[in-house]
Amino acid sequence: MADSTTRQLYTNLAATLQEIASLSQGLHVLGWDQQVLLPSSDGATAARGKALAALSGLVHEKSTAESFGALIDELEVQPDLDEELTVVERANLKLAAIDFRKNKNLPTSFVREYREHTSLSHAAWVKARKADDFPAFAPVLAKTLDFCKQYAQYVDADRPVYDVLVAEYERNLPSTRLAEIFSELREALVPMIHTINAAEHPDTEWMDAIHWDVKKQEELCKHIAQEIGFDFTRGRLDASVHPFTSGFNTYDVRITTRYSATHFAEGILGTVHEVGHAMYEQGLPHDLDGQPVGRALSLGVHESNSLFWENFVCRSRAFWRHFFPKIRELFPDIPEDKTADDLYAAINVARPGLIRVDSDEVHYPMHIVLRWELETLLLNGEVEVDDLPRIWNERMSSYVGIAPPSDKDGVLQDVHWPEGLVGYFPTYTLGQVAAAQWAHAMREQLGDLDELIEQGEFKQILHWLNENVHKKASVPESADALLEETVGEKLSPKYLIAHLKQKYSELYGVEL
Amino acid sequence: MADSTTRQLYTNLAATLQEIASLSQGLHVLGWDQQVLLPSSDGATAARGKALAALSGLVHEKSTAESFGALIDELEVQPDLDEELTVVERANLKLAAIDFRKNKNLPTSFVREYREHTSLSHAAWVKARKADDFPAFAPVLAKTLDFCKQYAQYVDADRPVYDVLVAEYERNLPSTRLAEIFSELREALVPMIHTINAAEHPDTEWMDAIHWDVKKQEELCKHIAQEIGFDFTRGRLDASVHPFTSGFNTYDVRITTRYSATHFAEGILGTVHEVGHAMYEQGLPHDLDGQPVGRALSLGVHESNSLFWENFVCRSRAFWRHFFPKIRELFPDIPEDKTADDLYAAINVARPGLIRVDSDEVHYPMHIVLRWELETLLLNGEVEVDDLPRIWNERMSSYVGIAPPSDKDGVLQDVHWPEGLVGYFPTYTLGQVAAAQWAHAMREQLGDLDELIEQGEFKQILHWLNENVHKKASVPESADALLEETVGEKLSPKYLIAHLKQKYSELYGVEL
Specify whether A309 is located in the same domain as A450.
yes
Distances (CA, A) of A63 to A18, A66, A154, B53, B263: 11, 9, 17, 18, 53
A214: β partners: none
Nearest to A54 among B19, B39, B250 (CB): B19
Compute φ and ψ for B252, nearest 5 degrees: -145, 85
The predicted complex's ipTM stands at 0.89
DSSP-derived 3-state class of residue A202: coil
- Name the CA radius of gyration of chain B, rounded: 24
Biggest CA–CA distance in chain B, Å, is: 76
pLDDT at residue number B63? 95
B143 near B116, Cβ under 8 Å?
no
The answer to whether residue A286 sits within a structural domain is yes
The answer to whether residue B290 neighbours chain A at the CB level (below 8 Å) is yes
Cβ burial of A511 (10 Å; 0-12, 13-18, 19+) is exposed
Give mean pLDDT, residues A208-232.
95
The answer to whether residue B469 sits within a structural domain is no
How far apart (Å, rounded) are the C-alpha atoms in residues A53 and A334?
51
A455 near A72, Cβ under 8 Å?
no
Among residues B274, B303, B310, B373, the one annotated as catalytic is B274
Specify whether A333 is located in the same domain as A466.
yes
Instruction: Collect the ranges in chain B with pLDDT lower than 70.
Output: 1-2
Nearest to A50 among B22, B44, B51 (CB): B22
Sort out which chain B residues have CB atoms less than 8 A from A27's CB and list them. 26
Please identify among residues 181-240 of chain A the ones whose CB lies closer than 8 Å to any CB of chain B: 231-236
Last residue of a domain, one of A46, A75, A105: A105
- Strands of A174-268 (E only): list them: 235-239, 245-249, 252-257
A33 near A69, Cβ under 8 Å?
no
Question: Going by C-beta distance under 8 Å and a sequence separation of 6 or more, which residues neighbour residue B291?
Answer: B14, B17, B18, B21, B92
Confidence of residue A1 (pLDDT cuts 50, 70, 90): very low
Please give the tally of structural domains in chain A: 2
Query: Within a 10 A sphere around the Cβ of B163, how many other Cβ atoms?
Result: 19
pLDDT at residue number B240? 81
Nearest to B233 among A18, A39, A286 (CB): A39
The answer to whether residue A44 neighbours chain B at the CB level (below 8 Å) is yes
How near does any CA of chain A get to the CA of B24, in Å?
A: 8
Cross-chain residue pair A252–B53, CB shorter than 8 Å: no
A305 near A276, Cβ under 8 Å?
yes
The answer to whether residue A48 neighbours chain B at the CB level (below 8 Å) is yes
Among residues A274, A303, A373, A454, the one annotated as catalytic is A274
What dihedral do alpha carbons B486, B490, B495, B497 form, nearest 10°? 160
How far apart (Å, rounded) are the C-alpha atoms in residues A228 and A50?
40
How far apart (Å, rounded) are the C-alpha atoms in residues B73 and A283?
53
Specify whether A100 is located in the same domain as A244.
no
Helix (H) or strand (E) holding B245: strand B245-249
Contacts 24+ apart (CB under 8 A), A483-486: A483/A434, A483/A437, A486/A441
pLDDT at residue number A388? 98
Please identify among residues 250-269 of chain B the ones whose CB lies closer than 8 Å to any CB of chain A: 250-252
The answer to whether residue B289 neighbours chain A at the CB level (below 8 Å) is yes
How far apart (Å, rounded) are the C-alpha atoms in residues A366 and B261?
57
B252 near A38, Cβ under 8 Å?
yes
Specify whether A96 is located in the same domain as A235.
no
The answer to whether residue B404 sits within a structural domain is no
Question: Going by C-beta distance under 8 Å and a sequence separation of 6 or more, which residues neighbour residue B449?
Answer: B312, B318, B439, B442, B443, B461
Sort out which chain A residues have CB atoms less than 8 A from B249's CB and list them. 43-44, 47
Nearest to A234 among B43, B55, B58 (CB): B43
**Which of B16, B28, B33, B237 to mutate against chain A (most A CBs within 10 Å)?**
B33
Cross-chain residue pair B40–A236, CB shorter than 8 Å: no
CA angle, corner A398, sides to A396 and A399, nearest 5?
Answer: 65
Specify whether A211 is located in the same domain as A82.
no
Confidence of residue A2 (pLDDT cuts 50, 70, 90): low
How far apart (Å, rounded) are the C-alpha atoms in residues B57 and B75?
26
Q: How many CA atoms lie within 13 A of A441 on its CB side?
A: 23
The answer to whether residue A390 sits within a structural domain is no
Lowest mean pLDDT among A171-175, A314-318, B3-7: B3-7
Q: Of B275, B225, B285, B293, give the one whose Cα is nearest residue B251.
A: B285
The mean predicted confidence, pLDDT, of chain B is 96
Biggest CA–CA distance in chain A, Å, is: 76
Confidence of residue A263 (pLDDT cuts 50, 70, 90): confident
pLDDT at residue number A45? 93
What DSSP string runs through A21-58? HHHHHHHHHHHHHHHHT--S-HHHHHHHHHHHHHHHHH
Compute φ and ψ for A171, nearest 5 degrees: -70, 135
Lowest mean pLDDT among A2-6, A168-172, A453-457: A2-6
How far apart (Å, rounded) are the C-alpha atoms in residues B210 and B216?
13
How far apart (Å, rounded) are the C-alpha atoms in residues A67 and A53?
23
Q: How many CA atoms lie within 13 A of A121 on its CB side?
A: 24
Give mean pLDDT, residues A47-67.
94
Cross-chain residue pair A44–B289, CB shorter than 8 Å: no
How near does any CA of chain B get to the CA of A69, in Å?
A: 20
Last residue of a domain, one of A71, A86, A105: A105
Q: Of A35, A132, A145, A475, give the one whose Cα is nearest residue A287.
A: A475
Cross-chain residue pair B47–A23, CB shorter than 8 Å: no
CB pairs under 8 A between A and B: 122
Question: Going by C-beta distance under 8 Å and a sequence separation of 6 or more, which residues neighbour residue B469?
Answer: B280, B283, B301, B304, B305, B438, B482, B486
- Where b means 16+ CB within 10 Å and e means fewer, B238-257 reads eeeeebbbbbbbbbbbbbbb
Between A94 and A2, the higher pLDDT residue: A94
Cross-chain residue pair A235–B26, CB shorter than 8 Å: no
Cross-chain residue pair B22–A54, CB shorter than 8 Å: yes
Last residue of a domain, one of A56, A87, A105: A105
Confidence of residue A18 (pLDDT cuts 50, 70, 90): very high
How near does any CA of chain B get to the CA of A159, in Å?
A: 37
Computed from CA positions of residues B301, B305, B306, B310, in that sequence, does the dihedral angle turn out positive or negative?
positive
Provide the residue type at B449 as one letter. L
How near does any CA of chain B get to the CA of A265, in Å?
A: 28
pLDDT at residue number B105? 93
Sheet holding A235-239, edge to edge: A235-239, A252-257, A245-249
pLDDT at residue number B246? 93
pLDDT at residue number B2? 56
Cross-chain residue pair B26–A252, CB shorter than 8 Å: no
**Which of A30, A55, A230, A287 to mutate against chain B (most B CBs within 10 Å)?**
A55
A188 near A496, Cβ under 8 Å?
no
pLDDT at residue number B1? 45
How near does any CA of chain A get to the CA of B39, in Å?
A: 5
Cβ burial of A147 (10 Å; 0-12, 13-18, 19+) is middle
Q: Of A119, A193, A105, give the one whose Cα is nearest residue A152.
A: A105
Asked about A274 being catalytic, the answer comes back as yes
Question: Going by C-beta distance under 8 Å and a sequence separation of 6 or more, which residues neighbour residue B145?
Answer: B378, B379, B385, B422
pLDDT at residue number B215? 92
Q: Of A191, A211, A224, A462, give the one whose Cα is nearest residue A331.
A: A211
How far apart (Å, rounded) are the C-alpha atoms in residues A311 and A315?
5
Q: Above 70 in pLDDT, residue A452?
A: yes
How far apart (Å, rounded) are the C-alpha atoms in residues A112 and A147?
12
Give mean pLDDT, residues A274-297.
98
How near does any CA of chain A get to the CA of B240, in Å?
A: 15
The answer to whether residue A126 sits within a structural domain is no
The answer to whether residue A314 sits within a structural domain is yes
Percent of chain B surpassing pLDDT 70 = 100
Question: Going by C-beta distance under 8 Å and a sequence separation of 6 or more, which residues neighbour residue B158?
Answer: none
Cα nearest neighbour of B234 on chain A: A39
Give how far the C-alpha of residue B393 lies from the chain's centroid of Cα atoms, to the nearest Å: 25
B152 near B164, Cβ under 8 Å?
yes
Percent of chain A surpassing pLDDT 70 = 100
Length of chain B: 512
Cross-chain residue pair A22–B251, CB shorter than 8 Å: no
Compute φ and ψ for A322, nearest 5 degrees: -65, -45
pLDDT at residue number A310? 98
The number of helix segments (H) and strand segments (E) in chain B equals 21, 3
Question: Domain limits at A58?
Answer: 5-105
Length of chain A: 512
The answer to whether residue A163 sits within a structural domain is no
Cross-chain residue pair B289–A47, CB shorter than 8 Å: yes
Query: Within a 10 A sphere around the Cβ of B285, how many other Cβ atoms?
Result: 17
Nearest to B54 among A22, A37, A39 (CB): A22
Structure confidence by residue, pLDDT tens digits, B137-160: 999 999 999 999 999 999 999 999
Structure confidence by residue, pLDDT tens digits, A105-155: 999 899 989 989 999 999 999 999 999 999 999 999 999 999 999 999 999
Cβ burial of A330 (10 Å; 0-12, 13-18, 19+) is middle
Confidence of residue A505 (pLDDT cuts 50, 70, 90): very high
Please identify among residues 7-26 of chain B the ones whose CB lies closer than 8 Å to any CB of chain A: 18-19, 22-23, 25-26
The answer to whether residue A463 sits within a structural domain is yes
**Which of A18, A24, A37 to mutate against chain B (most B CBs within 10 Å)?**
A37
